[in-house]
A = this chain, B = another copy of it.
Amino acid sequence: MKVDFPLILVNFKTYRESLGQKGLELARAAERVSNETGICIAVAPQTPDLFRVASSVGIPVFSQHADPDDPGAHTGGVTPESLKEAGVSGTLLNHSERRLRLDIIEETLRRCSCVGLLTCVCANTPLAGRALASFGPDMIAIEPPELIGSGIPVSKARPEVVGDSVRLIKGISNSVHVLCGAGITSGEDVSAAIKLGAEGVLVASGIVKAGNPLKALMDLADHSVPR
């Protein structure tokens, strides 16, 4: 399944609020908002739930991580093939909570590309974003780690981080899409991000732990279109 931009990518992390059946309901809420607004929303459920969610909803499902292991003797590995087979469309890589070695990132991107999985690599700084652009992932998500989960939106607190990232990444490759994340909870934060050149947002606690995730997502989606 392809993604469109602007994209709202919801990282379920391992929150209790996104576990199993609750994760499925959250994914269905995302599907409903996507259908009603026409904005592309992708979800990244917990790993053991991937097949369950991917076989139940009609929106793109991402893994939160992938290993570069090929099909073989790699106990515990999450291979691109196993994700593809589970109906998954893409994967996050190098999230601040699961940082990877540079060579592993390059190799995993290559493996995902072979298998036909979309890739969204996380970067903590604009320079790291530019570095990652070198490998031509589908998306790069800029997230200053200190703002993750803070409720202080990167797009308002550190607009230069978003702007610089867009400029540096596009300077390497125009075909890499730039998302931003960290502290995004409201539609206003999304508007601000899009004005700065971001093509979408990576969100987590702001949606997963919202009192009413459907309403929170609707607010994000409503503000995702440049006016």
Which A residues are closer than 8 A to B by beta carbons? 11, 13-16, 19-21, 46-52, 63-65, 69-79, 81-83, 85-86, 88, 92, 94-106, 124-125, 127-128, 130-132, 134-135, 148-149, 168, 172, 204-205
Say whether, besides A64-B75, A71-B19, A128 and B106 are in contact (CB < 8 Å).
Answer: yes
Contact A48–B82 (Cβ < 8 Å): yes
Say whether, besides A20-B85, A131-B132, A15 and B71 are in contact (CB < 8 Å).
Answer: yes
Closest to A122 in B: B75
**Can you give 13 A-B contacts (C-beta < 8 A)?**
A14-B73, A14-B82, A16-B71, A19-B71, A47-B48, A48-B51, A49-B86, A74-B97, A75-B98, A77-B98, A100-B102, A101-B102, A102-B132
Q: Which residues of the other chain, B, contact A14 by a CB distance below 8 angstroms?
A: 69-75, 77, 79, 81-82
Minimum C-beta distance from A86 to chain B (A):
4
* This chain's copy number in the assembly: 4
Contact A73–B135 (Cβ < 8 Å): no
Contact B95–A76 (Cβ < 8 Å): yes
Say whether, besides A46-B82, A82-B46, A72 and B15 are in contact (CB < 8 Å).
Answer: yes
Contact A52–B49 (Cβ < 8 Å): no
